[in-house]
Amino acid sequence: MKIYKTKNYEEMSKKAAQIMAAQVTLKPDCVLGLATGSTPVGAYGHLIQWCKDGLLDFSQVKTVNLDEYKGLTPDNDQSYRYFMNKNLFSGINISMENTHVPNGAETDSQKACSQYNAIIAGMGGIDLQLLGIGHDGHIGFNEPGDSFELETHCVDLTPLTIEANKRFFEKAEDVPRQAYTMGIRNIMLARKILFVISGEDKAEILKKSVEGPVTPQVPASVLQLHPDVMLVADEAALSLMKL
Ligand code: F6R
């Protein structure tokens, strides 16, 4: 794991965006695995700006997002599809048909998940997967205890994740109870992983994930076994690590 230590969130965002931009420049028809949540928003902002400045071209890029709430349609402003359109896709010159998010409107979980696995396989896998981390160590919506073997599947969200995500909804009861997520297997098959983390509140789980034992109880710990992980984290997030 290559660790980039940055001063703060802004520097973390710029570094992460530079790594993503390098991927797009080196392989203009690359497949980017993308994430939602607050952490990547700053990096997406840089990508939008560089694209507007003519420094980056997304016209051949394909994307595949980690996850989506089951039951939310793309026009729902809490859906991850809506988030991606708003925070990245609408600001760059990507073809919308090249962007993929699990189909939250599909009620048949098996169908939604197998279709998504087929999409990823059809694109030849993921060149660079962007990941954030939850306070319980989840990546995508792979919660503690989920098998490392799984591909895209339907999960029941844990109370901790519902609690953490309720900030985006009017009230906790509005947070969907299930989601479709790429599995750890899909993530581990990505050729490169860009892991972004900011803030003191993530310091303990980051330490556990990077310095603790590899265990499904800490889903992100599996990244210790991936051959090409770039961790971009700010000082606050790295504050408990030995380095
Ligand atoms: C989002 C995702 C989640 C988030 C994680 C951290 O697509 O897969 O695993 O990366 O919950 O979220 P933030 O960045 O909001 O702290």
- Answer whether 35 contacts ligand 1 (Cβ < 6 A): yes
Residue 189 in contact with residue 126, Cβ under 8 Å? yes
Please give the number of the atom of ligand 1 that sits closest to the Cα of 142. 9
Between the CA of 14 and the centroid of ligand 1 the distance, in Å, is: 18
- Answer whether 102 contacts ligand 1 (Cβ < 6 A): no
Q: What is the pLDDT of residue 26?
A: 98
Q: What is the pLDDT of residue 186?
A: 98
Pairing of strands 178-181, 153-156: antiparallel
Closest by CA position to 64, among listed 168, 186, 177: 186
Q: What is the pLDDT of residue 27?
A: 98
Q: What is the pLDDT of residue 97?
A: 98
d(CA 128, CA 15): 15
- Answer whether 66 contacts ligand 1 (Cβ < 6 A): yes
- Answer whether 205 contacts ligand 1 (Cβ < 6 A): no
Closest by CA position to 231, among listed 139, 136, 95, 125: 139
- Answer whether 138 contacts ligand 1 (Cβ < 6 A): yes
Between the CA of 20 and the centroid of ligand 1 the distance, in Å, is: 18
Catalytic pick from 46, 100, 138, 153? 138
Catalytic pick from 68, 136, 146, 234? 136
Q: What is the pLDDT of residue 142?
A: 96
Q: What is the pLDDT of residue 165?
A: 87
For ligand 1, atom 9, the nearest C-alpha belongs to 140
Q: What is the pLDDT of residue 7?
A: 98
Per-position pLDDT tens, the chain of length 243: 999 999 999 999 999 999 999 999 999 999 999 999 999 999 999 999 999 999 999 999 999 999 999 999 999 999 999 999 999 999 999 999 999 999 999 999 999 999 999 999 999 999 999 999 999 999 999 999 999 999 999 999 989 889 888 888 888 888 999 999 999 999 999 999 999 999 999 999 999 999 999 999 999 999 999 999 999 999 999 999 987
Provide the token pair at 25.
């420049």
Q: Is 143 a catalytic residue?
A: yes
Q: Is 153 a catalytic residue?
A: no
- Answer whether 37 contacts ligand 1 (Cβ < 6 A): yes
Closest by CA position to 66, among listed 172, 206, 161, 184: 184
Q: What is the pLDDT of residue 12?
A: 98
For ligand 1, atom 10, the nearest C-alpha belongs to 132
Q: Is 67 a catalytic residue?
A: yes
Q: What CATH number is given for 2-234 in this structure?
A: 3.40.50.1360
- Answer whether 132 contacts ligand 1 (Cβ < 6 A): yes
